[in-house]
Amino acid sequence: MKIVGRMRRSRNYRDVLRIAAIATILMFSPLAFGDWDPGDPAIYYQLPDPTGWDVYAEWQYGVADDWTADSTMAITDIHFWGSWKDDIVGSTGDILLRIRSNDTSGYFARPGNVLWESVISEEDYTTRLYTTGNQGWYDPRWEDRWYPNNHEEMYQYNIDYIEDPFIQEEGETYWLEISMDYYGCHWGWKTAEEVNGSPAVFWDTYGYCGGYWQQLKEPAGWCWPSPPQYLDVAFVLTPEPATLLLLVSGIALIRKKR
């Protein structure tokens, strides 16, 4: 009996060490950045169109797209794609994120009141070259500012830890608005493979299209004589730092060995 007691105490001690090791990893997880790839955990995603448009997102007057929450949880990671006009890469600065309510009072759904806002400084996100290929540049505020086959490089932007995350409520529809504070050149948010929910919208800064939020469509004349198609933009929402999966794996391993 004494031998069995020692074995149990030894096994419990090893379990405590495992949990402590996992807790240490989680303690420092906000410092670890990671990319997102298809198949990785996500609560919502719209993949980029590799030959699509990059839609100009002016600082504080950005582009927005909607999603409907299928669960109640905190959004701590946001990933999205974009490119630079003419492949002239400027110096990126802060990213302004806003989450808005869903306004259905008009003839099309659009962003409503700001529910959450965060300015992400350049040291708090990472960028990687995601893919290359012929892509178009598009400033929807002007009839003549669209350029097919304008650039080759598409980048992914990874915000992997938001200290004060937004809590989405199951069944609610929200709008994610993004704009980039860059230096020189022009940056755009990449369009998605397909439209999910309502089409994306852009802020019509100069009132050329009637002012306020306007639905995002392909440039007039691009698909002539067919009518321009609606567009969405590409982004991913993740509920928690990826390292949280280590805790689940560690606990499962402990249970398995008992």
Q: Please report the pLDDT score of residue 86 as a whole number.
A: 95
Q: Point out the least confidently predicted range of 146-150, 164-168, 200-204, 246-250.
A: 246-250
Query: pLDDT over 70 for what percent of the chain?
Result: 77
β strands within the chain, DSSP E? 44-46, 53-56, 63-68, 73-75, 77-84, 91-103, 110-120, 126-138, 146-159, 166-168, 173-183, 187-190, 201-203, 213-215, 235-238
Output DSSP code: residue 12.
H
CB-based burial, 178-195: b 16+ in 10 Å, e otherwise:
bbbbbeeebbbbbbbeeb
Say which DSSP state 144 is in.
Answer: T
Show Cβ contacts of residue 179 under 8 Å, excluding neighbours closer than 6 positions: 57, 58, 59, 60, 61, 62, 63, 95, 96
Mean predicted confidence (pLDDT) in 168-181:
95
pLDDT for 240 = 63
* String of DSSP letters for 63-88: EEEEEE-SS-EEE-EEEEEEEEGGG-
Which pLDDT does position 224 carry in this prediction?
A: 65
In this predicted structure, what is the pLDDT of residue 154? 97
- The pLDDT tens digits of the residues spanning 113-128 come to 999 999 998 889 999 9
Indicate the domain borders of the chain. Answer: 2-29+245-257, 37-242
Whether the per-residue pLDDT at 23 is higher than 60: the answer is no
Cβ-contact 93, 179 below 8 angstroms: no
- Per DSSP, the three-state class of 157 is strand
CA torsion angle 68 72 76 82 (round to 10): -10
Residue 167: pLDDT above 80? yes
Question: Tokens 């990687």 sit at which residue?
Answer: 128
- Supply 101's token pair: 């309510």
Is the pLDDT assigned to residue 55 strictly greater than 50?
A: yes
Q: Is the pLDDT of residue 143 over 60?
A: yes
205-246, pLDDT tens digit by residue? Answer: 777 767 789 999 998 777 666 788 999 999 999 986 543 444
Q: What is the mean pLDDT of residues 145-168?
A: 93
